[in-house]
Amino acid sequence: MANMAQAIRMALHYAETNYELKDIFGQDVGAPLGGVFTATQGLKTTWNSTLDERGIIGMAMGIAMAGDRCVAEIQFADYIFNTIDLLKIAGNTLWCTNGQYNLPMTVMTPVGAGIRGSVYHSHSFDAWASRLAGWKVVMPSNPLDAYGLLLSCIKDPNPCLFLKPKALMRVRGEELIPGEPTDEKELKNMIDAPIGDRSKWKAKWPEVSEYLVPFGKGKITRAGDQITVVSYGRHLLLCNEVADQLKTEGYSVEVVDLRSIYPYDWSLIKTSVEKTGRVIFVNEDTEVTNFGEHLAYRVVQELFYHLLARPQVIAGKNVPGIGLHPHLEDASVPQKHDIEKAIREVCAEVP
């Protein structure tokens, strides 16, 4: 089973071969490293950019303006903040030009905590990204979705932001990518660059085929009827674990993997909450003006009379940074016990 880094690599290979993807670039994205998380090893069209995030995003916009497809990487989302006005411009170019210049570009960047990355390798970007009108924003929780969402991003005529949960880059999924060899070792030998001299190495790509996860389509990863838990990315897996654990106590938790942050799958949330009457939203971006708050607001507005309890948003603390010591990180971003506590509380609430 591929891990997420390998899945991303295979998607990029598929797009180079089939979607006329012409540039995959960013800091250390090309040979010899192939990306700090190895997600761009062995590809044909990778190149190393200057160490300049604004240069990377600006260049991507220009490439897209000239009609070519590109994937630009910002090495860590922690360093995307100095590009935010360029991201705004990329998102408003089609609108400002009254429909004349669309920018078919994908930006990918690793996000979130979970690897003891301290202050500047732990930032989230989903709440910020949800305010970038004109962008499509996705965040996978498993390798197959990473493959399918990245292909959707590259194929789309709009700017797309692919948020990679960095703590999941080595995590394997439960489903094979179409065409992926079943033997993990075989895959590794084919597409992981060797340690040491790589100058002669070439990837041997498996015959992967097209698999698209459409924008705005979530997925129920645990079925239940007592409470809805909506999440994405790394925290989706934590929510699944908590749901499984609580099941032994008789709780019936429905977990929704949103997958797309914008556009988002409202009908899936709606159907689930109409059934359960209880909902929590879980993500690790900071809590004030969090994307989960928007969803909670909408639940209150549209589903108020279905609710049996107040919705909750479980998110990162509104602190300036995530400290290195595990005590600090664990107190700053939601942990399993926080999710569990919230589920128990919301389920216990009597209208």
Residues recognised as catalytic: 53, 121
**Amino acid (one-letter) located at 41:** Q
**Amino acid (one-letter) located at 289:** T
Residue closer to other proteins, measured from CB, 32 or 62 = 62
| 89 near other proteins, judged by CB under 8 A | yes
Nearest Cα neighbor of 166 from 214, 113, 212 is: 113
Encoding tokens for residue 65? Answer: 């303006």
C-alpha span between 199 and 44 (Å, rounded)? 14
Residue closer to other proteins, measured from CB, 97 or 189 = 97
Indicate the helix (H) or strand (E) that contains 7.
helix 4-18
| 63 near other proteins, judged by CB under 8 A | yes
Q: Which residues between 217 and 256 bind other proteins (CB under 8 A)? A: none
Q: How far is the CB of 275 from other proteins (least distance, A)?
A: 19
Q: Which residues contact 128 (CB under 8 A, 6 or more apart)?
A: 84, 285
Residue closer to other proteins, measured from CB, 37 or 135 = 135
**Alpha helices (H) along 68-160:** 84-96, 126-129, 143-155
C-alpha span between 175 and 194 (Å, rounded)? 26
350 burial type by CB count under 10 A (0-12 exposed, 13-18 middle, 19+ buried): exposed
Residue closer to other proteins, measured from CB, 7 or 151 = 151
Residue closer to other proteins, measured from CB, 5 or 60 = 60
Stretch that binds other proteins, among 28-36, 82-90, 163-171, 227-235 (CB under 8 A): 82-90
| 161 near other proteins, judged by CB under 8 A | no
Single residue of 157, 170, 209, 300 touching other proteins by CB under 8 A: 157
Using only C-alpha atoms, the chain has a radius of gyration, in whole angstroms, of 20
Applying CB under 8 A, the site for other proteins has a residue count of 46
Cα angle, residue 67 at apex, residues 65 and 68 outer, rounded to 5°: 110
Q: How far is the CB of 127 from other proteins (least distance, A)?
A: 15
Residue closer to other proteins, measured from CB, 98 or 182 = 98
Q: How far is the CB of 64 from other proteins (least distance, A)?
A: 7
| 52 near other proteins, judged by CB under 8 A | yes
DSSP string for 332-348: HS--HHHHHHHHHHHHH
Encoding tokens for residue 3? Answer: 């891990």
Single residue of 5, 29, 61, 127 touching other proteins by CB under 8 A: 61
**Residue keyed to tokens 């916009």:** 61
| 96 near other proteins, judged by CB under 8 A | yes
Stretch that binds other proteins, among 66-74, 164-172, 197-205, 272-280 (CB under 8 A): 66-74
| 331 near other proteins, judged by CB under 8 A | no
Q: Which residues contact 196 (CB under 8 A, 6 or more apart)?
A: none
Q: Which residues between 119 and 138 bind other proteins (CB under 8 A)? A: 133-134, 136
| 115 near other proteins, judged by CB under 8 A | no
| 296 near other proteins, judged by CB under 8 A | no
Q: How far is the CB of 94 from other proteins (least distance, A)?
A: 5
**Amino acid (one-letter) located at 317:** K
Residue closer to other proteins, measured from CB, 23 or 340 = 23
**Amino acid (one-letter) located at 192:** D
Q: How far is the CB of 101 from other proteins (least distance, A)?
A: 6
| 182 near other proteins, judged by CB under 8 A | no
Separate counts of helices (H) and strands (E) for the chain:
11, 12
Nearest Cα neighbor of 153 from 86, 110, 103 is: 103
Contacting residues toward other proteins, per CB under 8 A: 22-23, 50, 52, 54-55, 57-68, 85-86, 89, 93-102, 133-134, 136, 156-158, 216, 262-267, 294, 298
